[in-house]
């Protein structure tokens, strides 16, 4: 059964305020080596049968908001 991961991330030009909070919090804890953190989500699905075009359509119609987000698809066997 193919496991498919769809990674959804905010477009790079947009301010990621949750990511900014994570960066600040990590630095406050002493992790000064963290320069920039951005947060995305990953949807892991069992898709049988797998068809990349259809998974792309899922991303466009439901999983991501194409106005502000990018997504990429990865198949994990």
- Which of 20, 47, 56, 70 is in the footprint of a second copy by CB under 8 A? 47
Q: Which of 11, 14, 41, 66 binds a second copy (CB under 8 A)?
A: 41
The Cα–Cα gap between 7 and 37 comes to 16
Binding-site string for a second copy from residue 3 to residue 32, where x marks contact by CB under 8 A and - marks none: ----x-x---------x--xx-xx--x-x-
Distance CA 76, CA 2 (A): 7
Task: Confirm or reject binding of residue 33 to a second copy (CB under 8 A).
Answer: yes
Q: Residue 17 contacts by C-beta under 8 Å, 6 or more apart in sequence?
A: none
């Amino acid at each position: 059964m193919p496991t498919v991961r769809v990674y959804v991330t905010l477009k790079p030009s947009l301010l990621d305020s949750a990511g900014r909070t994570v960066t600040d919090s990590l630095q406050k804890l002493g992790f000064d080596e963290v320069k920039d953190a951005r947060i995305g989500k990953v949807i892991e699905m069992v898709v049988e049968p797998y068809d990349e075009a259809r998974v792309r359509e899922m991303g466009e119609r439901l999983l991501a908001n194409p106005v502000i987000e990018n997504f990429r698809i990865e198949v994990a066997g």
